[in-house]
Amino acid sequence: MKSDEFRKTGYEIVDWISDYMDNVEDYPVKSQVAPGEIYSKLPAMPPLRGESMDTILKDFKKILIPGITHWQSPNFFAYFPANTSGPSILAEMLTSALGTQCMIWETTPAAAELEERVLNWLRDITGLPKQFEGVIQDTASGATLAALITAREKACGFEINEKGFREDNKLRVYCSKQAHSSVEKDVKIAGFGRENLVKIDVDANYAMDSNALLNAIEKDISDGKTPCCVVATIGTTGTTAIDPLKETGEICNRFGIWLHVDAALAGTALILPEFSWMIEGKEYIDSLVFNPHKWMFTNFDCSVYFVRDSETLIKTFEILPEYLKTRTKGEVNDYRDWGIPLGRRFRALKLWFVIRFYGLEGLRDKIRGHITYAGELAEMIKKDRSFELLAPVPLNTVAFRFNPGGLSEKKVNSINEQLNHQLNDTGKIYLTHTSLDGRYTLRMVVGQTNVTIDHVRNAWSLIKEKSAEIKL
Ligand SMILES: *Cc1c(COP(=O)(O)O)cnc(C)c1O
């Protein structure tokens, strides 16, 4: 592509993106297409000769846009957010234009040093201990996998890396019943075996019951097994429950167990001084991950992974083929040794843009706003006798259901499922659900970059309106 054509199409695309940002609320939040609809509109064979950018862009708008779910709509209340922001998108453009590989310092010194600086910023503004060092990973799932493998190697004296698992390596991993499914997936991939993941009961607030954790660990020890790692969650995916870190940490410390903290969403709230209580007991943490690609307005993918002892991490992952030997080894950070992939994009750039554009106060205002709006929503739900809150609301996620009274649990579940589908089919808002003690639970997550209290109030009106239409 010649630079003239690039420039012309580039301006067009930037115009389109700017209009998209202004008008994102005009699209149905959840894509309304049927399965196969998009696929059938795409030709069976690729073009033999190159096509014009005009034609490609026309098809992008006509064929693909209807199949897009608009995660950047402020009426998106589903899952957890995957936010972007202007500065982040612009940085991504530069990252893709530079197209650098950031596997070792030498392959892009600025990327390695910016990553080190920005991760130290994040460590300090979230209140993590000073000796922690950070690295950008693709996802929380990937970072937790890195944590589990590191914990595994530490527990076996780096033997499994060399010889593989032995019959008598009975290493055990613990997390709560509300922990994210990625923990189970990672336990499988890291070779522990799913049977060696112990899911601990939760208390009335859906946080890990630390007495049950202690009992499980003691039982395993008396059965000749080796407790290896506890994954505590700060902000569970279902209800943003916060596992008791101090008690959990004391147990880990007592038995020499690796403590990994999954704070995928909630880690961002640690920039608010009023939420520092979430990591009380931080002196016991070995590793922690959170996702700026969820709640810190930074495009996917960008997870930040912090470790107390980077040497153990590097010892676990390091591999040194001849072609990667450099003169600077040991003086600088070669991040390929800090996780699984070799190739790495220049992801620190977007974090740097975002943090500088908003400033710490700007980020705090936004996050505080979201938490306040979620609190207001919880109050509105509490006041309505046809609805009930199903979990505490420590952060930005409200778990609730429609329960007009006098109906069986089974019926209440089915009307809430119906309500969820009917709401999403309007295209006006998008909510997803979870299950709490067998109850179909609607979740409303207030965390999109541009969400305001008006979006939340309008969503609540729509929920009430649609619930009134349900035949009981
Ligand atoms: C979203 C989430 C994850 C998974 O995040 P990815 O970055 O998509 O892997 C893990 N843990 C928790 C608690 C989450 O909310």
CATH of the domain at 468: 3.90.1150.170
Q: What CA–CA distance (Å, rounded) separates 393 from 411?
A: 25
Q: What is the pLDDT of residue 157?
A: 95
What are the pLDDT digits (tens) for 63-93? 999 999 999 999 999 999 999 999 999 999 9
Question: Could you tell me if residue 50 is inside a domain?
Answer: no
Q: In angstroms, what is the span from residue 49 Cα to ligand 1's centroid?
A: 42
Does the CA dihedral 453-455-456-461 come out positive or negative?
Answer: positive
Contact between 347 and 92 under an 8 Å Cβ cutoff? The reply is no
Question: Could you tell me if residue 45 is inside a domain?
Answer: no
- Supply the pTM of this predicted model: 0.96
Using the 3D structure, point to which of 314, 345, 376 is the last residue of a domain: 345
Amino acid at 374: A
- List b or e across 177-189, with b for residues whose CB sees 16 or more CB atoms inside 10 angstroms: ebbbebbeebbee
Please tell me whether residues 153 and 118 are part of one structural domain: yes
Contact between 239 and 436 under an 8 Å Cβ cutoff? The reply is yes
Please tell me whether residues 312 and 370 are part of one structural domain: no
Q: Find the domain containing 225 and state its range.
A: 100-345
Please tell me whether residues 309 and 370 are part of one structural domain: no
pLDDT reading at 331 higher than 90? no
In ligand 1, the atom with minimum distance to the C-alpha of 294 is 1
Q: What is the pLDDT of residue 384?
A: 97
Please tell me whether residues 233 and 297 are part of one structural domain: yes
For range 291-306, the mean pLDDT: 98
Please tell me whether residues 80 and 104 are part of one structural domain: no
Question: Could you tell me if residue 232 is inside a domain?
Answer: yes
Question: Could you tell me if residue 63 is inside a domain?
Answer: no
What are the pLDDT digits (tens) for 219-262? 999 999 999 999 999 999 999 999 999 999 999 999 999 999 99
Helices (H), 190-309: 210-222, 245-255, 292-295
Using the 3D structure, point to which of 345, 379, 402 is the last residue of a domain: 345
Question: Could you tell me if residue 52 is inside a domain?
Answer: no
Q: Give, for ligand 1, the residue of 141, 288, 445 to mutate: max count of ligand atoms closer than 8 Å to Cβ.
A: 141
Please tell me whether residues 76 and 185 are part of one structural domain: no
- For residue 394, the SS3 value is coil
Amino acid at 378: A
What are the pLDDT digits (tens) for 89-138? 999 999 999 999 999 999 999 999 999 999 999 999 999 999 999 999 99
Please tell me whether residues 457 and 329 are part of one structural domain: no
Q: In angstroms, what is the span from residue 142 Cα to ligand 1's centroid?
A: 10
Number of domains in the chain: 2
Please tell me whether residues 79 and 108 are part of one structural domain: no
Please tell me whether residues 309 and 206 are part of one structural domain: yes
Residues with CB under 6 A from ligand 1: 80, 139-141, 180, 182, 233, 236-237, 262, 264-265, 291, 303
Please tell me whether residues 79 and 205 are part of one structural domain: no
Q: How far is CA 132 from the centre of its chain?
A: 20
Q: What is the pLDDT of residue 169?
A: 81
Does the CA dihedral 112-114-117-118 come out positive or negative?
Answer: negative
What are the pLDDT digits (tens) for 344-402? 999 999 999 999 999 999 999 999 999 999 999 999 999 999 999 999 999 999 999 99
CATH number at residue 186: 3.40.640.10
Q: In angstroms, what is the span from residue 302 Cα to ligand 1's centroid?
A: 11
Please tell me whether residues 303 and 431 are part of one structural domain: no
Amino acid at 207: A
Q: Whose CA is nearest to atom 2 of ligand 1?
A: 264
